[in-house]
Amino acid sequence: MTRLQRIGVTALAVPALALVMLPGSAPAQTGPPPPSVVLKLGAKAPLNSTGKLIKVKVKITCNNAKPAPIHAEVTQSRGSVQAHGAGDSSANYKCNGRTQFGVVPVKADTGNRFHTGGASATANVTLMGLDGTPASANDARNIQLT
């Protein structure tokens, strides 16, 4: 009878040991979450005394990405005269999910000069996500040059 018990215990133990030794499915490897970015232009932008430089204010909220320069363009029409300028910010903000404020210096094109009053502005940014995918945002609005 003890021999039958040993055979029975062995018969049960071998399949159980095989289950323990089988490689289990590895946990799913997940990369970083996809990037996100939101960009908003401010309503007002200070103009320097010569009319050659505007400090366009922006708000940016991004997450899971590397910061990149923000590009802005401003166009102002006064009668038949049109002024245009463009510029890029530095990338000294953090993509940590919090809204941050920045300034994009916009220089008037050669021969152009901006004046106080209304103007049309656009801003855009393309960030590279930590997962390798890009994320873009843009905004356009009328702003007041002050």
State the Cα–Cα distance between residues 71 and 137, nearest whole angstrom: 11
Q: What is the pLDDT along the chain (146 residues), one digit of tens a residue?
A: 555 566 555 555 555 545 445 555 555 668 889 999 999 999 999 999 999 999 999 999 999 999 999 999 999 999 999 999 999 999 999 999 999 999 999 999 999 999 999 999 999 999 999 999 999 999 999 999 99
Number of domains in the chain: 1
Chain centroid to CA 70: 10
Q: What per-residue confidence (pLDDT) applies to 5?
A: 61
């997450």: which residue's tokens?
63
For residue 6, give every residue at least 6 positions away whose Cβ sits within 8 Å of its Cβ, in sequence order, or none.
none
User: Do residues 89 and 41 touch, judged by C-beta distance below 8 A?
Assistant: no
Q: What per-residue confidence (pLDDT) applies to 140?
A: 98
For the domain that residue 47 is a member of, what is the CATH number? 2.60.40
Q: What per-residue confidence (pLDDT) applies to 30?
A: 80
Domain that holds residue 65: 36-145
């903000």: which residue's tokens?
93
Strands (E), 49-116: 53-63, 65-66, 71-78, 81-88, 96-108
**pTM of the predicted protein model:** 0.79
Q: What per-residue confidence (pLDDT) applies to 13?
A: 55
Q: What per-residue confidence (pLDDT) applies to 23?
A: 56
Q: Is there a domain that residue 135 lies in?
A: yes
User: Do residues 69 and 90 touch, judged by C-beta distance below 8 A?
Assistant: yes
Q: Is there a domain that residue 97 lies in?
A: yes
Q: Is there a domain that residue 12 lies in?
A: no
Q: Is there a domain that residue 118 lies in?
A: yes
Helix or strand run (H / E) with residue 31: none
Q: Is there a domain that residue 137 lies in?
A: yes
Chain centroid to CA 1: 74
Q: What per-residue confidence (pLDDT) applies to 44?
A: 98
